[in-house]
Amino acid sequence: MKYVLVTGGVVSGLGKGVTASSIGVVLKACGLRVTSIKIDPYLNTDAGTMSPFEHGEVFVLDDGGEVDLDLGNYERFLDVTLTRDNNITTGKIFQSVIEKERRGDYLGKTVQEGPADVCVIELGGTVGDIESMPFIEALRQLSFSVGHENFCLIHVSLIPVLGVVGEQKTKPTQHSVRELRALGLTPHLLACRSAQPLLENTKEKLSQFCHVPAANILNIHDVPNIWHIPLLLMNQNGHHAILKQLNLLSIATPPDLQDWTKMAETYDNLTNSVRIAMVGKYVGLTDSYLSVVKALLHACIACSLKPSIDWIAASDLEDDSAKLTPEAHAAAWETLRNAACVLVPGGFGDRGVRGMILAAKYARENNIPYLGICLGMQISVIEFARSALGMERANSEEFDAQTADRVVMFMPEGSTTHMGSTMRLGSRKTFFQTPDCITAKLYGNPQYVDERHRHRYEVNPDVIGVLEERGLKFVGKDETRKRMEILELPSHPFYIGVQFHPEFKSRPRRPSPLFLGFILAATGKLEGYLNNHQNGV
């Protein structure tokens, strides 16, 4: 096994995750088998209980692992399926050490998951952070134990430009590399983040003071879209430098990134767009819905469109907002009315729920394409029960534990005392109840689909009968046929709610069928697409 370690310096948020993913893409294009590991130096055992406001979205894996959003980048870029073992946290290590100590079974065994030629390891945070010190030492020991030809360290650093001087400054990177060397790790390559391409004299200066050959100094400057990053690395012969360090030049093939080139150029040349209203709770940080944004991007590109996402804070749609913040209220409603489609993503807690219900009602009554994901599906059930069934107090146990009309309930197997890893998580089968529904047609009429879940509430089975009598159809259910997974409103052009998260399995070249249908419906092309799809065109 060969190891490529990606570290970061100077500041956080440089794009280490995208850089690590892009390195994996280029190595995979050279014919190598690549896997990825993300090290997060925090005390949480996983990302499940972290705030989306602070940490971005929680990405869910097939095996139910709740992990950092960077693993979502790895899966999308490398087109691989990872497991919870691909995410290492300080908390997970502490928990494992304590459990083993209690059992007395320190047997020194190593578990290896699958055959890979290269493992790309991303160390979260920046060099010098006190919480990452144990990992730095462990990685130093790893580099020594596996040998020089099996370990390649790539340090991602910032090359700022001071507005007054206009000169690319290398000193922050010099200090960062010096600190890394003091900890026993010497970078073989530098990946320099900058707004503009690096000047030759900047490269020479970095080479001289950081002891890195000029040919091994890669420049990752700002680009129109992130699909250009693997191309940047390839065009600078970054793959050659890595392969040379790892002694893989003899078995690697020249990189083939034609698909990536086509994808990046296609996106750059798109002119038409579609307006999508994203009504959520965490709109202040777009990373909170990163996979949804990426899934919309994949679907839009398949339709030769650019996504134009209008972020709407759900609370701004509520009646209370009209009194407290009238301008924000008016702007939110104007944005909603100008959108071609409405999406309500997942979330937890009761803040903004009334606004989401109003958005679902607006989309239902005005025949606007609507996609509700997880909480978004539950919202559509609550809204329909209130509006169509006259159940004014219809609610979820999550928002009102004492509600008389409990249309969404806490799942029997859930835990009321522990929050972490107590939800229904990971890939589960959803069985279609009818082949005539839009969702089944979009997926190609299979018997079932495998999608990832992350929820602890579900639609109350006791109200399914009355809801279906009034026109809301539950076209997808779990293997027991008692848990509702997909709802549709047949009288509506596209009104779909899903309990699972289809965004987690969307890929650049294989968009999620639901997101594709959503965008097609927004542009009036869904019916033609389904007809062609059914006829095998």
Q: Answer whether residue 145 shows pLDDT above 60.
A: yes
- Around Cβ 219, how many Cβ atoms within 10 Å? 20
| Mean pLDDT for the stretch of residues 50-79 | 83
**Burial (0-12, 13-18, 19+ Cβ within 10 Å), 31:** middle
Residue 105: band (very low, low, confident or very high) from pLDDT cuts 50, 70, 90: low
What single letter denotes the amino acid at residue 504?
F
Of 34-48, 372-386, 498-512, least confident by mean pLDDT is 34-48
Integer Cα distance of 357 and 5 in angstroms: 46
Q: Give the residue among 383, 372, 374 at the shortest CA–CA distance from 515.
A: 372
Backbone dihedral angles phi then psi of residue 81, each to the nearest 5 degrees: -115, 115
Torsions phi, psi for 459 (to 5 deg): -70, 135
- Every domain range in the chain assigned CATH 3.40.50.300: 2-104+111-264
What is the Cα 474 distance to its own chain's centre? 27
Question: 126 in helix, strand or coil?
Answer: coil
Are 335 and 309 within 8 A, CB to CB? no
> What is residue 392's predicted lDDT score, i.e. its pLDDT?
87
What residue ranges of the chain are covered by domains with CATH 3.40.50.880? 270-535
The single residue listed with the structure tokens 């958005």 is 359
Model confidence at 48, in pLDDT bands (50, 70, 90)? low
Taking the CA atoms of 74, 80, 81 and 84 in sequence, report the sign of the dihedral they define.
negative
Listed in order, strand segments (DSSP E) in 356-508 are: 370-373, 395-396, 406-410, 424-432, 448-455, 457-459, 473-477, 484-488, 495-498
Question: Which CATH superfamily groups domain 2-104+111-264?
Answer: P-loop containing nucleotide triphosphate hydrolases (3.40.50.300)
Mean pLDDT lowest for which of 42-51, 75-84, 89-98? 42-51
Q: DSSP string spanning 209-251?
A: HHT--GGGEEEEE--SSGGGHHHHHHHTTHHHHHHHHTT-TTT
In sequence order, what are the residues at sequence separation of 6 or more whose Cβ sits closer than 8 angstroms to the Cβ of residue 433?
474, 475, 476, 477
Q: How confident is the model at residue 51 (pLDDT cuts 50, 70, 90)?
A: low
Query: Where do we find the tokens 């998260």?
Result: 501
In whole angstroms, give the CA distance from residue 189 to residue 185.
12
Write down how long the chain is.
537
CA nearest neighbour of 185 among 332, 3, 432 = 3
Catalytic residues: 374, 501, 503
Picking from 55, 125, 507, the residue whose alpha carbon sits closest to that of residue 289 is 55
Distance between CA 118 and CA 252 in Å, rounded? 12
pLDDT at 102: 52
At 295, list the tokens. 């899934």
* Distance (Å, whole) CA 207 – CA 217: 7
User: Please, which pLDDT band fits residue 113 given cuts at 50, 70 and 90?
Assistant: very low
Per the model's pLDDT, the better-predicted residue between 64 and 420 turns out to be: 64
Residue 447 in tokens: 């018997």
Quickly count helices (H) and strands (E) in the chain: 19, 21
Rounded to 10 degrees, the C-alpha dihedral 298/304/306/311 comes to -60
d(CA 482, CA 431): 11
- AA identity, residue 183: L
Please report the pLDDT score of residue 132 as a whole number: 83
Q: What is the pLDDT of residues 366-417, one digit of tens each?
A: 999 999 999 999 999 999 999 999 898 899 998 888 888 899 999 876 554 4
3-state SS assignment for residue 485: strand
Q: What's 27's DSSP letter?
A: H
111 pLDDT tier (thresholds 50, 70, 90): very low
Amino acid identity, position 75 = E
Mean pLDDT of the chain: 88
User: Which range has the top average pLDDT, 15-19, 121-125, 298-302, 322-326?
Assistant: 298-302
DSSP H/E element including 152: strand 151-158
Residue 46 or residue 298, greater confidence: 298
Residue 112, judged by CB atoms within 10 A of its CB (0-12, 13-18, 19+), counts as: exposed
What pLDDT is recorded for position 89? 80
Burial of 359 (0-12, 13-18, 19+ CB in 10 A): buried
Cα 417 from Cα 193, distance rounded (Å): 44
- From its phi and psi, is residue 55 left (phi > 0), alpha (psi between -120 and 50) or beta? alpha
Task: Report the run of H or E that residue 207 belongs to, with start and end.
Answer: helix 200-210
Listed residue (313, 342, 292) closest to 454, CA to CA: 292
Collapsing DSSP to helix, strand or coil, 124 comes out as coil
User: Class of the 270-535 domain?
Assistant: alpha beta
pLDDT at 104: 58
- The helix (H) or strand (E) run that includes residue 91 is helix 90-103
